[in-house]
Structure 1
């Protein structure tokens, strides 16, 4: 079985707009994304999500709602990336640019999918509709989706 790397991704959503960050360095540099990163030893997935949000755009949240888990497989490039996605509608502080990310608000109809990971346009509608889901994407390189599946969670899961 392939090894897995646990990661987080956080989205701040207000009525008709969403806060995204322009990744300035590292994996995904040059693309808009949520805020997040690796889960460190000794912290829960939610603690990691809150820490990454604070580190990457200097805002804090009291609570997060986990709404999805997406597993990414990059052909011939292990490990699998298991990304836990969270959202919050409230936060404290002012979104501030850091060495890693430049935050910016986007209206839902103006989300810059042409400068984001190609899978985002597939699962963002689920997130924006308030749905919970699990997904699996297989990538060839970083720009080509080989195949994918999305399963909506039932209310009991």
Structure 2
């Protein structure tokens, strides 16, 4: 199972989303994030990915979720979700991502993974979540069909 992160940077009723320019989910919106590297904690990965993808230095990242994804019945990805309102710098585009501040009420769920609309509003509202999301249809995951899920809210992490 691949271990990955997402980090949602929030300020004054807005969230920083990225439009993916390449790789899994290309053309879709999400938070900055990526694969956890060997010897790296998920928290370190989230901080590094935000810096690499949008040029912000984030601090005080708090764990907001743990999401498991399966594909055709097999474990695929375990995603650690973080959020923060503490950052330095101005977002800038990178080869991997085009950042955009979006009002929380205008998050483009129709241009995101199907599962995002189920858990992201709660995370942006300050809640924590643990979930499992099941996809079918084979690789790549972004072309598979979302079929089912389980969610648990207000989970304690760390």
**TM-score (normalised: structure 1):** 0.91
Q: How many Å separate the matches in 2 of 1:92 and 1:156?
A: 25
Q: Equivalent residue for 2:65?
A: 68
Q: How does 1:14-53 map to 2 (within 5 A)?
A: 14-53=11-50
Q: How many Å separate the matches in 2 of 1:116 and 1:54?
A: 22
Q: Equivalent residue for 1:144?
A: 145
Q: How many Å separate the matches in 1 of 2:101 and 2:12?
A: 12
**TM-score (normalised: structure 2):** 0.91
Closer, same or farther in 2 for the Cα pair 1:155/1:9, shift >3 Å? closer
Deviation at 1:120, TM superposition (A): 0.7
Q: Equivalent residue for 2:84?
A: 88
Q: Flag structure 2 segments of 5+ consecutive residues without an equivalent.
A: none
Q: Equivalent residue for 1:112?
A: 108
Aligned pair partner of 2:117 in 114, 121, 127? 121
Instruction: Say yes or no: does 1:7 pair with 2:4.
Output: yes
Q: How many Å separate the matches in 2 of 1:152 and 1:72?
A: 17
Q: Relative to total residues, which structure has the larger strand share, 1 or 2?
A: 2
Q: How many Å separate the matches in 2 of 1:98 and 1:105?
A: 15
* Matched positions, count: 153
Deviation at 1:113, TM superposition (A): 0.9
Deviation at 1:155, TM superposition (A): 5.3
Closer, same or farther in 2 for the Cα pair 1:103/1:154, shift >3 Å? closer
Q: Equivalent residue for 2:93?
A: 97
3-state SS of 1:123 partner: helix
Instruction: Say yes or no: does 1:55 pair with 2:52.
Output: yes
